[in-house]
Structure 1
Amino acid sequence: MEEEQELFRVYRLVPQVYFPEQIHDVVHATKYFLQPEVLEKYKVDPGRVGVSGDSAGGNLAAALGQQFSQDANLRNKLKLQALIYPVLQALDFNTPSYQQNVNTPILPRYVMVKYWVDYFKGSYDFVQAMIINNHTSLEVEEAVALRARLNWTSLLPASITKNYTPVVQTTGSARIVQEIPQLLDARSSPLIADQAVLQHLPKTYILTCEHDVLRDDGIMYAKRLESVGVEVTLDHFEDGFHGCMIFTSWPTNFSVGMRTRNSYIKWLDQNL
């Protein structure tokens, strides 16, 4: 019974625990669920197990997939992963979507950066510096190579980059990464994972929304996965916004909420 409670708890939240405990929770729960006797108990086909999540849950689903991809005993346990407007990186808060949607309701940039600081139990004193990418300036050597893995000038199409320009500071605040090294950890920012990790991931669905600071995280991740041979479906909604999938009942039964939900479910029906 205690193990079942662990399984259905999903993961603990801030401020009860901080990164990387949430990842440990989802890995533990998934490994438990994948035990033959547990799959049999719930009448689950072991060849049809997928992992999915939205927003922060999309981050944890992506991190879980990467953790499994590095373990030969678990590598083929997941048939697919489905990521709904996922949070995938904390190195660049000036991608085109962050610039375009800086003050968009539901998830403005300032709030997203504060969420990252909360996740790492960091100081809000760093928020303003992180907003202008001081935490990954050129003088922060450990960040330079990782920033190359999310070079949006090459990973995003011209229809997305438009006239936006990268924000790369020459000098910044190395102290931020020194005090919060988790910012550069691929377990928190799956987009910066090494290619050797990405190539073993299962078939992937990524849903992105135009009016969302996280839009480009998902598009770049799709591009990186495709580059190493992973089969990816990128499902983009021009009229979508962060969290729109939950707005499917009165009085917020938005068309885009129903369309994103139906598109996601259709993909699962066809691929799982």
Structure 2
Amino acid sequence: MEVDGHSAVQFLFLFKEMQPYDMLCRTMAEELDAVVISVEYRLAHFPDQYNDALQASKRILTAEVLAQYSIDPERVAVSGDSAGGNLAAAVAQQMALDSSAPIKFKVQALVYPVLQALDFNTPSIQQNANIPILYRSHLVSYWLEYLGGDQRLAPSLLANNHTALNQGHKIAAAKAKINWTQLLPAALQKNYKPLFPLQGDPKLLEELPGLLDVRAAPLLAKKEVLRAVPPAYIMTFEHDVLRDDGLMYSRRLEEAGIAVTVDHYLDGFHGCLSFAFGPLQFSVGLRSFENYIRWLKENL
């Protein structure tokens, strides 16, 4: 699709072949008058998915490709939802630091992104552990699948044994970046309690080194990295285990001096954007989609 002099929006989605995503991408292209590119990365273990998304971004952000599709190089965005939001955030960080890439993303739009795997007992995870469509147990299982870990490690991760106090200075430094008692407003913390055992399994980090890899967990990025990324739009839903990932990232970006728009829905749940169209349409799905499009129109 060619659009003279208009923006390109690159979307990184996990379930690319699902009909709702096809409808979303087509509607985005029409509403934004933009070129929409959905990257079909491999459903493989980390870091393969990240590498696919990064290489696709590098290829797209070249004068040759942008000119081929009449894309304005100063109006390019990266976006994704859930696992795609993870990839979008990670790619935005890397591309911002890449001195060999003269063309940069103007903005990033992250929709209920998953951004960390060090604390499976954040307030939103405790609150929404059994709320569809993403359960706490599923979240841990997906992380183990992504990082190539044995599913038998799930109980240890659910108990936060990988971030126990005896795990060393690397874990201590990482935990400081996901300390929700500092990053979340008191209204969201309510009566939830942090869970960091005194003793954990030291082999967990050996088996799952990706837990501390910023390419897998963008929330762990250093402040100097966050200072370089483009302005952000972050959508979160109250009834979603991933709510606090997005809100903690927005706070860290703000502390780094990055302009952030947080779009939070009290009546939303994980995956709502997929319910903006079709026979299973939810009003919150349509509202969130319309506001997402509005932000992109105003900021691209």
- For the aligned pair, the TM-score class normalised by the smaller chain equals over 0.9
Pick the aligned partner of 1:69 from 89, 96, 103: 96
1:76: Cα distance to partner? 5.8
Moved more, 69-78 or 185-194: 69-78
* Identity in percent: 52
1:172: Cα distance to partner? 1.1
Q: Alignment partner of 2:113: what SS? A: coil
Q: Alignment partner of 1:90: what SS? A: coil
Query: In 2, distance between residues paired with 1:189 and 1:31?
Result: 20
1:8: Cα distance to partner? 5.8
Partner of 1:167: 195
The amino acid that maps onto 2:142 is: Y
Partner of 1:4: none
Partner of 1:111: 138
Q: Alignment partner of 1:236: what SS? A: strand
Gaps of 5+ in 1: 1-6
More strand by share: 2
Q: Alignment partner of 1:187: what SS? A: coil
> Paired residues, what number?
263
1:10: Cα distance to partner? 2.7
Partner of 1:204: 232
Partner of 1:29: 56
- Conserved 8 A contact 1:248-1:257: yes
1:102 aligned onto 2:122:
no
Partner of 1:60: 87
1:228 aligned onto 2:250:
no
1:179: Cα distance to partner? 0.9
Q: How does 1:176-187 map to 2 (within 5 A)?
A: 176-187=204-215
Alpha carbons of 1:8 and 1:261: their partners in 2 closer, same or farther (altered >3 Å)? closer
Partner of 1:213: 241
1:135 aligned onto 2:162:
yes
Partner of 1:189: 217
- Conserved 8 A contact 1:10-1:29: no
Q: How does 1:40-51 map to 2 (within 5 A)?
A: 40-51=67-78
- Conserved 8 A contact 2:61-2:103: no
Alpha carbons of 1:8 and 1:167: their partners in 2 closer, same or farther (altered >3 Å)? closer
CA RMSD of aligned residues (A): 1.2
Query: In 2, distance between residues paired with 1:228 and 1:9?
Result: 29
Partner of 1:89: 116
Query: In 1, distance between residues paired with 2:174 and 2:39?
Result: 33
Query: In 2, distance between residues paired with 1:124 and 1:12?
Result: 21
Q: Alignment partner of 1:265: what SS? A: helix
1:42: Cα distance to partner? 0.4
